[in-house]
Amino acid sequence: MMKKKWNRTGILLLIFSMLLAGYSGNTAAAQTPFQVTEAAKGKAAGVPFLSGKTAQAETSPEPEGTPSPTATPEPVITPEPTEAPRDDISLVKVENYTSTTLTLSWFSDGNNEGFYIYRKCKYDKEYKKLGSVKNNPYETHVFKDKNFIRGINFTYKIVAYRHDSKGTITEGSSKKQSIKIAIPKPTLSSASRSGKKASLKWKKVSGASGYEIYQKNGSGSYKKVKTIKKGSTVSSSVPNVPENSTVRFKVRAYTTYSGNNAYGSYSAVKVIQSTAKERIVKKFKKLQKLYPDGRYWNHVGKTKYNSSTTTNKPCNHITYDDISTCNHYNCPNGILGFQCYGFAWKMSDLIYGRNAKIKNFKSFAKCGMGDVIRYSGHSVIIMEKHKNYVVVGECNYGNTCIIKWGRKVYKGELGNATYSSRY
């Protein structure tokens, strides 16, 4: 069988008809006069086989599940987190103080803006604001009260504050601290008499508003006899002091707040003796100059001496009864007294006179200034009498004939003592 040959014109027509069929949605035969049968297709050499169905143009299918495009939303700005309010006040203490100022300190790690400081005492109806301090977190804060008064029990209140969203100041948590600084007691430096008038001197107490003077006559009780209304005053006189009685004085300082007084402790007591004993006090002062403390009542190195001789060299007592260099005195009771015995009775004679009478007794309660005591083999003379002890003058305490003034001898040491008074 002879194969049909395609000329150039036929091939072009075939290609053109195929192109028309590929871009049309209908059958190629209905749209163009050029038709190609299946047999012709099958017999056409070198021409690809086409099905009897109308050729359709290929298109890419839409992917399933792909959303339709939408408009891009505007970005949302996340606000910065706001720190929750937190107050903290701890470790409140007194940093330091003076007579008129007090400095408080405290620690804080809160985020409040600052602190208000208030103060109140029992004489105030409500707290009074003293000032404010800016908050520096994680640091120690300080505040100085420049109107502080000693002797008053103040309560300080430290309050955290901040501004709210409306700009209004609000107060938060607080811490209270009660503080009372005692008023120092004055130093009563001297008390003396001139007849019936006593003269007192004391040292100033800083910050004091004034002072009160208390007096005790003999065995009576203390009574306030004078009020000093200026803190700068440091001396005063007291009239009508009994001449025949021992008088004691003490002083205390006070401060004033809102018309109310606060008081400090009393000073040490100063004693003014009766007129008669005051004369003895003056004689003791003279004796301490004639027989100085620390010298020796002996005649070491002296070829000439008497009972008034003193040296700067101690005795060298080889034996307990060695009195070769010791002074002696012919005592008013007829005894030749060496060392402590002779010294005590010589002092008694110089105070009362050689002819003064002697009265012996055993009671500590009855002894007084100017009395001679013999106890435990040692003799002394009383310079001051106190409730539980006496202050004495003596010689040979320590077995060297040294002269001593001002040693205390307590009542417990004088259990079997003999006391001798002169009158």
Between 48-57, 96-105, 335-344, 392-401, the lowest mean confidence (pLDDT) is in 48-57
Domains 90-179 and 188-272 share a fold: yes
Say if residue 369's pLDDT is above 80: yes
Q: Which fold would CATH assign to domain 90-179?
A: Immunoglobulin-like (2.60.40)
Between 63-77, 341-355, 366-380, 399-413, the lowest mean confidence (pLDDT) is in 63-77
Close Cβ partners of 342 (under 8 Å, ≥ 6 residues apart): 307, 327, 328, 329, 331, 336
Question: What is residue 307's DSSP assignment?
Answer: T
19: left (phi over 0), alpha (psi -120 to 50) or beta: alpha
Q: Which helix (H) or strand (E) holds 7?
A: none
> Quick one: how far is CA 4 from the chain centroid?
129
> Considering the chain, what percentage of its residues have pLDDT values greater than 70?
80
Close Cβ partners of 78 (under 8 Å, ≥ 6 residues apart): none
Domain boundaries, the chain: 9-43, 90-179, 188-272, 275-422
Say if residue 53's pLDDT is above 50: no
Between 69-73, 89-93, 117-121, 206-210, the lowest mean confidence (pLDDT) is in 69-73
Q: Return mean pLDDT, the chain.
A: 86
Average pLDDT for residues 326-353, to the nearest whole number?
96
Q: Do you know the residue count of the chain? A: 423
pLDDT at residue 88, as a whole number: 86
Which tens digit of pLDDT belongs to each residue from 290-308? 999 999 999 999 989 999 9
Average pLDDT for residues 131-154, to the nearest whole number?
95
State the Rg of the chain over Cα. 59
Q: Which CATH class is domain 188-272?
A: mainly beta
Say if residue 179's pLDDT is above 90: yes
pLDDT band, residue 87 (cuts 50/70/90): confident
Whose tokens are 């409140």? That residue is 92
pLDDT at residue 167, as a whole number: 81
Please give the biggest Cα pair distance in the chain: 195
d(CA 247, CA 215): 7
pLDDT at residue 135, as a whole number: 94
pLDDT at residue 201, as a whole number: 98
| DSSP per residue, 126-175 | S-EEEEEEE--TTEEEEEEETT--TT--EEEEEEEEEE-TTS-EEEEEEE
Residue 153 or 22, more confident: 153
Question: What is residue 366's DSSP assignment?
Answer: G
pLDDT at residue 86, as a whole number: 78
